[in-house]
A and B are shown apart, each in its own frame.
Chain A
Amino acid sequence: MSTKRTMTLNLTDAEMAVLEAMAEAKDLTKTGVLRQALRLYQLIDVRIARGEKIFVENGLTKEKAELAIL
């Protein structure tokens, strides 16, 4: 639905291994995984820029912990 542009990406072996594993696990292409990463990064970055904090919750104990963003 949208016009796409091409770029070359240089990754370390470790980064490529993670990318390939996530692509397999999520049934996505490597480009698809990187798109997902960018979307999530932007979503979190926008909320933090607004002064909000991101928390993760343990599904069983309901314990919440702040997600550290570097």
Chain B
Amino acid sequence: MSSLIATIKLREVATNQAIQAQVFDGIDQTHLSNWKTKWVPVVQATEARLLAQGAPASVYPQSAHWDWNKKTTAFQNLLSYRMFAVTCAHDTQGLMAVATDVVMHPSRLPDDKGRRALGLVYIDFLEAAPWNRPEHVQPPRYRGVGSVLIATAIQLSLDEGFKGRIGLHSLPQSEDFYRNIVRMNDLGPDTSYPGSFPLRYFEFTTAEAQAFIQGGKP
């Protein structure tokens, strides 16, 4: 089940027009069906093209294995997790799963009183539809999906009493977005991160998060 929580604007690249879009709290079957029938074929086409070109493994889409059906099943009944969707023109444009537990996802940067290990919204998974990403489709259809989801996470952080703090581990292909577009603090490779290689950890402090949602960037 999902509920509409905001109406926002995305930038349609082809026309440079601001197009009305919706943010939903919760991911439902409509979003998942759209992911399965529309996102997955585009990603598979990209992989087939890269294979035909003999491209190195590093350029293959690193989120291609993410299964939003499985994530939704795993997260939907847990209070610690929240899921969000962005839709526009009857298509799902972005999906996000976040964790809101202080014990397993504490803040790492000190607050203005020097305190660490405070609550934050931890972005577990954030993905824009493949037609909004230049590695799949040139030019991409809409810009701003990732930033809308970041702003949604910050708003949730404010609602939860976490004062806007958010954190995440980035896939290598997304580091440039978080470091240079969103301009989050890059705390470097996290050797404690479970997986085959240490992902870099990024975090927004309260002041930076508030600056982002007020002006788009800190």
Contact = CB atoms under 8 A, between A and B. Distances in A.
A binds B: yes
Interface of A: 1-2, 25-29, 32, 35-36, 38-40, 42-43, 46
A40 B104 CA distance: 9
Most A CB atoms within 10 A — which of B25, B102, B119, B160? B102
Interface residues of B, number: 20
A-B complex: 9 closest residue pairs judged by Cβ atoms: A39-B80, A32-B161, A39-B79, A27-B118, A1-B25, A39-B101, A36-B102, A43-B80, A28-B161
B103 interface: yes
Interface string B91-119: 00000000011110000000100010111
Interface string B157-192: 001110100000000000000000000000000000
Interface of B: 5, 25, 78-80, 100-103, 111, 115, 117-119, 155-156, 159-161, 163
Given A32-B160, A42-B80, A43-B80, 19 more contacts: A1-B25, A1-B155, A1-B159, A25-B115, A26-B102, A26-B117, A26-B118, A26-B119, A27-B111, A27-B115, A29-B161, A32-B119, A32-B161, A36-B102, A36-B103, A38-B79, A39-B78, A42-B78, A43-B79
